[in-house]
A = this chain, B = another copy of it.
Amino acid sequence: MTTNELAQPETATALQPEMPATRWGDPAHASGLPDGVRDLVSLVFPVRDTPAVIDVALPVSRITDGQLAALRELLGVEHVVTDDGSRRVRTRGKSTPDLLRQRSGDLTDAPDVVVRPGSHDDVAALLAWAGTERVAVVPFGGGTAVTGGLVADPASAGLTGVVSLDLGRMRRLLALDPVSSTATLEPGLRGPEAEALLAQHGLMLGHFPQSFEFATIGGFAATRSSGQSSAGYGRFDAMVVALRVATPAGDVRLGASPANASGPDLRELFLGSEGAFGVITEVTVRVRPLPEVKDYEGWRWASFADGADAMRQLAQADLLPTVLRLSDENETAINLADPEGIGGEGNAGCLMIVGYEGTPAAVAAKKAAVTGALTALGGTALGAEPGQSWASGRFNAPYLRDSLLDNGVLVETLETVTFWSNRENLYTRVKAALEAALPGAMVLCHVSHVYATGCSLYFTVAAPGGEDPLAAWLPAKAAACEAIVAAGASITHHHAVGTDHKPYLTAEIGEVGARVLHAVKDAVDPVGILNPGVLIP
């Protein structure tokens, strides 16, 4: 089935609404901290109004009039913009440091121009132009990056100026192969847009990261995203069967088959390449029938270790449900609005969310098997309410972060992944590093992605923001990263490397690994225009 036969939504070529520069998401969906929550928070942290500074002028664009004229000739006048608002919302991503810098009026990383190519060929033409002009190109999807992946350093590559390559016009479902269960999507499609296009055919992708509502297909691929249903549907990189990438060295099409022995799997070089090796212009993914049933429920475990061990046993028995997540004691207490329970003994234990999706028969069979296993392992079933509660609020955390920042509370997350036998060690080290670096901090953790051989650990930190929350956070983040490296874990499970994790990458992939990344970079991007300073050590 090709694009002519595929109904495209009316919005497919319209530009998407943009997120505010200093906040997450759709302002219409944002809400201040409810009074009850503010009262609760104020029991733990000093609360005070901390508004953003917003009337700050942007740096003067380094793009020359001649370059602007050339870009307009290349892409069309309306697709080349330099207004302050467009540049402002494409300055950095949505990590807490990114937001804090924006909120303090620091716009030093603003791109010089925003361009909106409409096709692979447009992207290829832009890359050729940028190579000749020696201007950096930063691919921009949903703008939800949280590790500095949108903060290019043109000077590091001897370049002048930054083009933000906004993929928002490339939002088509290009092809659907219902027999093979694959769909070819353009990179600018946001999560809900991609799902809506597929749902017209009774299909879905099933990738629901926290950033789902705003992040894009291209970004998912470029950063090896992982979603809340990864237990059932897999990481995004595992969903990808084929890629098309525009590189300065030429067009790349990879994925002639589901799997093969045709040498190294080069798809795996472009997955996770964070815009440094090329601009992903087409992503072919495995799709699935829309689930007829969604059944989420809660389970209680006496301890984080007990719950994690149950997850391990499910994964190793190839008995994973669709959603499987486990909060530690602190996160469980917060979920129960019981801050007094944090750090205490004899608390309410640990909450696990277990979700099943699929046909009624498949859900019934899986649920029976999983329920039997979890019961045998000592879990206590809590019924549907905790599951429904989790599902209804699953994309809300970044809005809450804004509200807390507004109230002077520093909030940030970080994540890592290791083998099961190292989980406890990693958890203890990272938690201790954060608590030591941020006196008075509340450190929460959950496991939300599991494998037969290991699991992710996702930490949420809340602390008094003080006069300079950025200055408070950066050493804590460094301490956490050093603890991760010392524990022999990966520096990131699904947030990617960007610039924030780059100092720790060589410890993970070694000197030869770093040399390989440089060699590939030189081969596909000899001038070094693509996202300079990002990813490559």
Segment touching B, from A60-68, A395-403, A516-524: A516-524
Find the residue from A182, A223, A265, A493 having the highest chain B CB count within 10 A: A265
Given A365-B365, A420-B179, A490-B257, does the pair A516, B523 have CB atoms closer than 8 Å?
yes
Find residues 258-295 in chain A having any chain B CB closer than 8 Å to their own CB.
Answer: 258-274, 277, 286, 288
Closest CB-CB distance, A371 to chain B, in whole Å?
13
Q: Which B residues are in CB contact (< 8 Å) with A327?
A: none
The answer to whether the Cβ of A497 comes within 8 Å of any Cβ in the partner chain is: yes
Given A179-B421, A247-B512, does the pair A505, B262 have CB atoms closer than 8 Å?
yes
Q: Which B residues are in CB contact (< 8 Å) with A512?
A: 247, 249-252, 523-524
With the chains together, A453 CA to B179 CA distance in Å?
A: 8
With the chains together, A505 CA to B179 CA distance in Å?
A: 26
Given A249-B515, A251-B512, A419-B180, does the pair A261, B489 have CB atoms closer than 8 Å?
no
How many copies of this chain does the complex contain?
A: 2
A407-420 CB mask vs B (1 if < 8 Å, else 0) is: 00000000011111
The answer to whether the Cβ of A152 comes within 8 Å of any Cβ in the partner chain is: no
Nearest to A234 among chain B residues (CB) is B259
The answer to whether the Cβ of A452 comes within 8 Å of any Cβ in the partner chain is: yes
A509 in contact with B286 (CB, 8 Å): no
B286 in contact with A453 (CB, 8 Å): yes
With the chains together, A334 CA to B378 CA distance in Å?
A: 53
Q: Which B residues are in CB contact (< 8 Å) with A182?
A: 419, 453
Closest CB-CB distance, A145 to chain B, in whole Å?
12
Number of interface residues of A (CB under 8 A): 89
A272 in contact with B264 (CB, 8 Å): yes
A500-531 CB mask vs B (1 if < 8 Å, else 0) is: 01000100111111011111101110000000
A453 in contact with B252 (CB, 8 Å): no
A463-498 CB mask vs B (1 if < 8 Å, else 0) is: 000000000000000000000000011111111110
Q: Which B residues are in CB contact (< 8 Å) with A272?
A: 261-265
The answer to whether the Cβ of A428 comes within 8 Å of any Cβ in the partner chain is: no
With the chains together, A241 CA to B453 CA distance in Å?
A: 8
The answer to whether the Cβ of A95 comes within 8 Å of any Cβ in the partner chain is: no
Find the residue from A177, A237, A258 having the highest chain B CB count within 10 A: A258
The answer to whether the Cβ of A224 comes within 8 Å of any Cβ in the partner chain is: yes
Given A262-B492, A263-B517, A492-B262, does the pair A179, B312 have CB atoms closer than 8 Å?
yes
Instruction: Select one of B180, B237, B266 contacting A421, CB under 8 A.
Output: B180
Q: Which B residues are in CB contact (< 8 Å) with A421?
A: 177, 179-180
A523 in contact with B513 (CB, 8 Å): no
Q: Which B residues are in CB contact (< 8 Å) with A453?
A: 180-182, 241, 258, 286
A519 in contact with B517 (CB, 8 Å): no
Closest CB-CB distance, A423 to chain B, in whole Å?
9
Q: Which B residues are in CB contact (< 8 Å) with A263?
A: 272-274, 496-497, 505, 509, 517, 535
Q: Which B residues are in CB contact (< 8 Å) with A260?
A: 224, 417, 490-494
A223 in contact with B261 (CB, 8 Å): yes
The answer to whether the Cβ of A225 comes within 8 Å of any Cβ in the partner chain is: yes
Q: Which B residues are in CB contact (< 8 Å) with A495?
A: 261
A509 in contact with B266 (CB, 8 Å): yes
Q: Which B residues are in CB contact (< 8 Å) with A501?
A: 262
With the chains together, A271 CA to B261 CA distance in Å?
A: 9
Q: Which B residues are in CB contact (< 8 Å) with A490?
A: 256-257, 260-262
With the chains together, A270 CA to B225 CA distance in Å?
A: 23
Q: Which B residues are in CB contact (< 8 Å) with A264?
A: 268-273, 277, 517, 520
Q: Which B residues are in CB contact (< 8 Å) with A535?
A: 263
Find the residue from A253, A263, A449, A505 having the highest chain B CB count within 10 A: A263
A513 in contact with B257 (CB, 8 Å): no
Contacts A/B (CB < 8 Å), 15 sampled: A177-B421, A180-B420, A180-B422, A181-B453, A182-B419, A224-B259, A252-B513, A258-B417, A261-B497, A262-B505, A268-B268, A365-B369, A515-B524, A516-B523, A519-B519
Q: For the A-B complex with A266-B509, A286-B452 known, give 15 more contacts whose Cβ atoms are closer than 8 Å.
A: A180-B421, A180-B422, A180-B453, A235-B259, A256-B508, A257-B416, A257-B454, A262-B272, A263-B274, A264-B277, A264-B517, A286-B453, A512-B524, A516-B524, A519-B523
List A residues at the B interface (Cβ < 8 Å).
177, 179-182, 223-226, 235, 237, 241, 247, 249-254, 256-274, 277, 286, 288, 312, 316-318, 362, 365, 369, 416-422, 449, 451-455, 488-497, 501, 505, 508-513, 515-520, 522-524, 535
